[in-house]
Amino acid sequence: MRHRCLLVAAALVLAAARPAGAAGKLNVVTATEDLASLAREVGGDRIDVEALARGYQDPHFVEPKPSFILKLNRADLLIAVGRELEIGWLPPLINQSRNSKLQPGAAGYLDASLTVKILELPTGQITRAMGDVHPLGNPHYWLDPDNGRRVAQAIQKKLSELSPNDSAYFAARYADFDKRLAAAEKRWDVEMAPYKGLKIVTYHRSWPNFADRFGLDVVGYIEPRPGIPPSPSHTLELIQEMKRQGVKIMLVEPYFDLKTPDSISRDTGARVLVMAPSVGGEKEITDYLKLFDYDINLLVAAIKQVGAK
Ligand SMILES: [Zn+2]
């Protein structure tokens, strides 16, 4: 029923839609705010960018809105995280947008995962029978700044292909972003260096790329499998393991219920740290570089407080 209402509402708005690229700028829509930030870095004032999912939402489960269909209808380019992160919500919206440019495989569709380092690639037969929402490897790859760099580069190539007259501008913007990112990475590495090998637990498997990049050791997850809510037996095992390994920090994404993390905290003494995995996850996190600034500050402050090492 809700789905039908959405379609009717979308059809009404589409009837009044403007043609794409009205102001001479490329109209870019991204699945997430992280991708929107990277697109802005490269596209500058030659593009208009809008993200669909908000950074404080679980990117696997985003409630579709009629306005998303309108945005997609007007877009010249859609940038998706890929690896099936958005499979639960984006493909039907692309269909309903009636925009042939954005269909997967078309020139206006960029899968940002194609040129990045992907962790947790599955071996053997891929199945969703266990409820795993990461069937094609871990889709939270943007939490390694070098993957952010690779995505920005892929966006630069794509924008230059769609708007060849602006290619020198996009190349200069990318080079500037690359320089600022490299400088920030040096700073982040210095801040994180004392905590190499620190054992942590995370709610969802959002942080393998972040942990890999900054030398953290993720020893367990509050979810038994990605996308599957905590179960009493898994929680008990996790508590034992955390006590055995002396884990003092649990990272929880802002969109998860704190009931289980809080109860694990009471049992183990580990600190619950709500940490945003995306741009827009907190109001101070307004762009891709600030995402790492914010998270690393938060994490280092918590590590110092609990005296973890
Ligand atoms: Zn996930």
231-269 per-position pLDDT tens digit = 999 999 999 999 999 999 999 999 999 999 999 999 999
Q: Check whether 18 has a pLDDT greater than 50.
A: no
Q: What is the pLDDT of residue 307?
A: 84
The average pLDDT across 138-147 equals 98
Q: How far is the CA of 75 from the centre of ligand 1 (A)?
A: 26
Q: How far is the CA of 205 from the centre of ligand 1 (A)?
A: 6
Q: How far is the CA of 113 from the centre of ligand 1 (A)?
A: 14
Q: How far is the CA of 183 from the centre of ligand 1 (A)?
A: 29
Q: How far is the CA of 58 from the centre of ligand 1 (A)?
A: 8
What is 187-306's CATH number, 3.60.10.10, 2.30.30.90, 1.10.287.70, 3.40.50.1980?
3.40.50.1980
Structural contact between residues 286 and 308, judged by C-beta atoms closer than 8 angstroms: no
Q: Name which of 5, 16, 7, 14 is nearest 92 in CA terms.
A: 7
Q: How far is the CA of 222 from the centre of ligand 1 (A)?
A: 13
Whole-prediction pTM value? 0.92
The average pLDDT across 61-85 equals 97
Compute how many other C-beta atoms are within 10 angstroms of the C-beta atom of residue 191. 16
Structural contact between residues 108 and 49, judged by C-beta atoms closer than 8 angstroms: no
Q: How far is the CA of 180 from the centre of ligand 1 (A)?
A: 28
Q: How far is the CA of 211 from the centre of ligand 1 (A)?
A: 15
Q: How far is the CA of 234 from the centre of ligand 1 (A)?
A: 18
Buried b / exposed e along 104-129 (16+ C-beta atoms within 10 A) = eeeebbbebbeebebbbeeeeeeeee
CATH node for 26-186 = 3.40.50.1980
Q: Work out the pLDDT band at 20, boundaries 50, 70, 90.
A: very low
Least confident range from 130-139, 222-231, 239-248: namely 130-139
Bridge-based pairing of strands 199-202 and 217-221 is parallel
Q: What is the pLDDT of residue 7?
A: 56
Q: How far is the CA of 189 from the centre of ligand 1 (A)?
A: 25
Domain with CATH 3.40.50.1980 in the chain: 26-186, 187-306
The average pLDDT across 174-179 equals 98
Q: How far is the CA of 200 from the centre of ligand 1 (A)?
A: 17
Amino acid at 79: I
Structural contact between residues 77 and 29, judged by C-beta atoms closer than 8 angstroms: yes
Beta strand spans in 135-176 (E): none
Q: How far is the CA of 133 from the centre of ligand 1 (A)?
A: 6
Q: How far is the CA of 45 from the centre of ligand 1 (A)?
A: 32
Q: How far is the CA of 16 from the centre of ligand 1 (A)?
A: 36
Alpha carbon distance 180, 255 (integer Å): 30
Q: How far is the CA of 39 from the centre of ligand 1 (A)?
A: 22
Angle at 41 between CA 74 and CA 101, to 5 degrees: 25
Q: Which residues share a beta bridge with 80?
A: 111
Q: How far is the CA of 139 from the centre of ligand 1 (A)?
A: 6
Structure-token match 């005296």, residue found: 307
Structure-token match 């290619």, residue found: 167
Q: How far is the CA of 59 from the centre of ligand 1 (A)?
A: 8
Q: How far is the CA of 38 from the centre of ligand 1 (A)?
A: 20
The average pLDDT across 144-169 equals 98
Q: How far is the CA of 85 from the centre of ligand 1 (A)?
A: 7
